[in-house]
């Protein structure tokens, strides 16, 4: 169900054209009255593909066993609904609410750890009922890389600042693993990083720490004591440029407090933990925002952090609509998610008001199957008369692939 006859060919052809990944120029698909700009990088990343592969293989190889996911495999409703149709049950909601008590499971049951990873506490609860939490572990390797780097710093008595959404599954997992060896605090954005920085350099009272961060820090965290040595790690789906800004804000504060000459003894360089796929997708989206598109469509789950960041990048340039799938579209109106109001909205005449050809920037989040992007593209083509045949538009990409194979 995840094979894509259109987008897959575009992606594979651009890999051949740009094997060194240096060209961020979007691909133009000219269908006559409507054009689509397709970014260089988008959609499934390695971690997501790996997680889905393990999950489906587990279901296929264990037809007679109870199979559970700790929570959503990835933040895409199509994938999660399909797994549920195959009999997989969720133990937790995305907010951590328990659906099925772990104590009701037994050692013959299978539990799949999702791509976000899980907490040490949940790992121990699974072990108590005889289930190995690592047997069907789909935790993204880049999430695990963040944990390993944090552990390395913890052994050197560094505290950790996590750039992330403290209620997100990945950040909850990262916090748990980090708190096992370090003092930890979570910051959401550069604004919160500035508050923490001001506390560190004592331009804000220490009492402000409890006000802004007390609910998302290890007990008794004291920035004046615990941030003598610290590093910044992140939720891998956050804006990479924001993580770098958070790092710079806190690094500057450390320089003010401890001096520039000894900064390496106080602030750890953790830029190597930034997820390459997130960074590539966001860089390609920035290039997409530089096109002359009339509007943008971002396909992905409404609780997908990385998808929402793509919307955030594009909406500064042109009208941008976040949709789950083609079911949100009609010729006269579009249903789309507004992440700022956290509500579904309806926009009428979303395809009107532009001279032809209408130019649409089309992309998707890292947890969105390419086939859903295909379906959105094909749905839009039905709203226009005189469009070119898909095979005609895709032919140059197929020729490139055939040449490579030859």
| Residues that are catalytic | 170
Tokens of 121: 């506490």
* Beta-bridge partners for 317: none
Q: How far apart are CA 61 and CA 86, in angstroms?
A: 12
């Amino acid at each position: 169900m995840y094979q894509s006859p259109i987008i897959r060919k575009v992606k594979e052809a651009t890999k051949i054209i740009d094997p060194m990944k240096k060209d961020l120029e979007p691909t133009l698909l000219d269908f006559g009255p409507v054009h689509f700009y397709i970014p260089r990088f988008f959609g499934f990343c390695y971690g997501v593909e790996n997680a889905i592969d393990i999950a489906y293989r587990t279901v296929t190889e264990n037809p007679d066993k109870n199979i559970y996911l700790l929570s959503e495999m990835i933040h895409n409703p199509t994938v999660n609904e399909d797994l549920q149709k195959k009999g997989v049950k969720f133990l937790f909601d995305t907010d951590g609410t328990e659906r099925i008590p772990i104590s009701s499971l037994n050692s013959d049951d299978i539990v799949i750890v999702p791509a976000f990873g899980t907490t040490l506490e949940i790992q121990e609860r699974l072990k108590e009922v005889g289930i190995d939490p690592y047997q069907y572990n789909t935790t993204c390797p880049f999430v695990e890389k963040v944990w390993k780097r944090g552990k390395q710093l913890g052994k050197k008595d560094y505290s950790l600042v996590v750039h992330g959404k403290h209620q997100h599954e990945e950040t909850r997992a990262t916090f748990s693993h980090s708190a096992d060896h370090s003092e930890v605090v979570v910051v959401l954005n550069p604004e919160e990083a500035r508050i923490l920085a001001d506390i560190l350099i004592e331009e804000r009272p220490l009492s402000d720490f409890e006000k802004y961060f007390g609910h998302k820090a290890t007990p008794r965290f004291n920035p004046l004591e615990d941030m003598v040595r610290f590093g910044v790690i992140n939720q891998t789906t956050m804006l990479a440029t924001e993580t770098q800004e958070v790092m710079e804000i806190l690094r500057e504060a450390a320089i003010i407090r401890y001096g520039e000459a000894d900064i390496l003894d106080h602030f750890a360089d953790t830029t190597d933990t930034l997820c390459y796929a997130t960074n590539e997708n966001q860089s390609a989206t920035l290039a997409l925002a530089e096109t002359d598109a009339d509007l943008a469509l971002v396909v992905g789950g409404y609780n997908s952090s990385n998808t929402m960041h793509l919307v955030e990048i594009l909406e500064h340039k042109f009208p941008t609509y976040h949709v789950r799938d083609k079911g949100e579209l009609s010729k006269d109106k579009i249903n789309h998610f507004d992440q700022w109001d956290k509500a579904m909205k309806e926009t009428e005449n979303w395809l009107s008001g532009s001279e032809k050809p209408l130019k649409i920037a089309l992309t998707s989040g890292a947890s969105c199957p390419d086939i859903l992007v295909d379906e959105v593209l094909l749905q839009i083509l039905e709203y226009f008369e005189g469009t070119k045949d898909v095979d005609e538009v895709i032919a140059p990409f197929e020729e490139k692939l055939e040449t490579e194979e030859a």
